[in-house]
Amino acid sequence: MDTLGTVRDEDFLRLDHQICFSLHAATRAFNGVYRTALKDLGLTYPQYLVMLVLWEHGELPVKRIGEHLRLDSGTLSPLLKRLEAAGYVERRRSPEDERSVTARPTPAGAELRERAIGVPRRIAAATGMPLEEIRELRARLNDLTAALNLAETGAGAGAGAGAGAGASAGGCVTEE
């Protein structure tokens, strides 16, 4: 098996190109498929992610939505404003903490879920992958994300094994 030490920097530049670009391209390909699938619903893909969270949890403070999706208020505030303008979401200041704003689906937003419920199946079909493989890939990506987030927030080079990768995933993605 290759180790980091046996590969020349030159080769790394090429491999780097490939892995990071693959991820980049896969995400944009996913976005493209979602874009068409969500066009009828009038949702963008990030808006859809927010609605998935709200459908699952009901009313949530912006902060909590951000924790589920790893997004900050700079992204969520205008996004929620647009969802509110579209009539899918209601926002209001929390009575017990005036700093906090909670969002929840309106009746129209709840109804939207019925229309969105066929979307994931179409996406899964578009991947042409069996569910088992999709799950496997998901697990791999979660490990990767956890390792990268870990590496970025100070922890050493983290060069060793992939151990501990799964640990820091807690609280990130909505776990199953």
Residues numbered 95-124 forming contacts with a second copy, rule: CB under 8 A: 116-124
- Residue 15 tokens read as 């491999």
Q: Which does 154 bind (CB under 5 to 8 A by kind): a second copy, DNA, none?
A: none
Q: Residue 116 CB, nearest distance to DNA (Å)?
A: 15
User: Would you give the binding string for DNA spanning residues 87-106, x where CB under 7 A is met?
Assistant: ----x----xxxxxxx----
What are the phi and psi torsion angles at 23 (to 5°)?
A: -65, -50
Residue 72 burial (10 A CB sphere; 0-12, 13-18, 19+): exposed
Query: From residue 35, how far is each of 38, 43, 69 by CA, in Å?
Result: 5, 8, 18
Edge-to-edge order in the sheet of strand 89-93: 60-61, 101-105, 89-93
Q: Which does 97 bind (CB under 5 to 8 A by kind): DNA, a second copy, none?
A: DNA
Q: Residue 104 CB, nearest distance to a second copy (Å)?
A: 18
User: Would you give the binding string for a second copy spanning residues 60-99, x where CB under 8 A is met?
Assistant: ---------xx-----------------------------
- Residue 141 tokens read as 């990506």
